[in-house]
Amino acid sequence: MWAQGDYAAVAQMLEPHAVKLAGLCDIGPGMRVLDVAAGNGNFALAAAGQGAKVTACDLTPRMIEMGRARSEAAGLDIEWIEGDAEALPLPDGSFDLVASVFGAMFAPQPQLVARELFRVCRGRGLVAMANYAPEGFLGSMSALFTRYSNPLPYELPSPFEWGESAVVKRRFAGLAGEVEVQPDTLTMRFDSVDAGMEFWERTNAPTIALRMTLPAERYLDFQRDARRLMEEMNASRDGRLELDSSYLMVLARPVT
């Protein structure tokens, strides 16, 4: 699904937050860094730009293709591999820093993700994440998707639970000896509500999937409700559109 839409445009909006997380990780030349569920490489490029030896891993071949082209264009030597955040194809203790920015949180089995992030991290290394939280526009839009999507035959945890401090600490129990969390806010800005809707429908993979699967009248209902949500959550008062979403930055040291 994530290969649908204009992911490069989404990544551009998210890149400052990947750079911000990288700035908290004390990355230096020669450090071995893994970017998990890397998308097209926001965190990987930030780390490589600071001299790290970077591997970027994603489940989607299209993302790897985009990321490889992007890193080559930037003149950065990044190794791109295909792999699942729940079963990383990498040896134990391979990296000084294991990070994921708005990526591994979407894997359906969070406890497997937590185990894998720490498994491939060396004993005195660092696991870092940036995860969307339930509060704000993206959490509310996720709830709207749930209303309009066909129910699954089994229940899965919400990806947005990764943005809750207590949940992260519970998932990291026994894996991390020290967990630091820092709430932050992501703001999406558009010239108008119309522009925001156009961007969302063009770039957002779950929305594209809904459009492909819902009956036409049902999708019109979704459009109406999505637009209403944007209008209700608009922080701008000058005719433009500003949508705030909370997220959580996590820095965790493995148990030694």
Q: How far apart are CA 66 and CA 253, in angstroms?
A: 31
Angle at alpha carbon of residue 45, lines to 43 and 47, rounded to 5°: 70
d(C-alpha 219, C-alpha 210), whole Å: 7
Work out whether the CA dihedral 103, 241, 204, 143 comes out positive or negative.
positive
pLDDT of residue 1: 56
Give residues with Cβ within 8 angstroms of 146, minimum separation 6: none
pLDDT in tens, 194-248: 999 999 999 998 899 999 999 999 999 999 999 999 999 999 999 999 999 999 9
pTM: 0.95
At residue 194, the 3 state secondary structure works out as: helix
What whole-number distance in Å separates Cα of residue 43 and Cα of residue 39? 9
- pLDDT per residue over 60-101, tens digit each? 999 999 999 999 999 999 999 999 999 999 999 999 999 999
User: How much is the average pLDDT of 31-53?
Assistant: 98
Backbone angles phi, psi at 239, to 5 degrees: 95, -15
Size of the chain, expressed as the number of residues it contains: 256
Cα distance between residue 183 and residue 133, in whole Å: 9
Q: What would the pLDDT profile of 104-133 be if each residue is shown by its tens digit? A: 999 999 999 999 999 999 999 999 999 999
Q: Which domains does the chain have, with CATH numbers?
A: 7-133+156-186+247-254 (3.40.50.150)
State whether the Cα torsion 244-41-131-58 is positive or negative. positive
Average pLDDT value over all residues in the chain: 95
Q: What is the pLDDT of residues 163-208, one digit of tens each?
A: 999 999 999 999 999 999 999 999 999 999 999 999 999 999 889 9
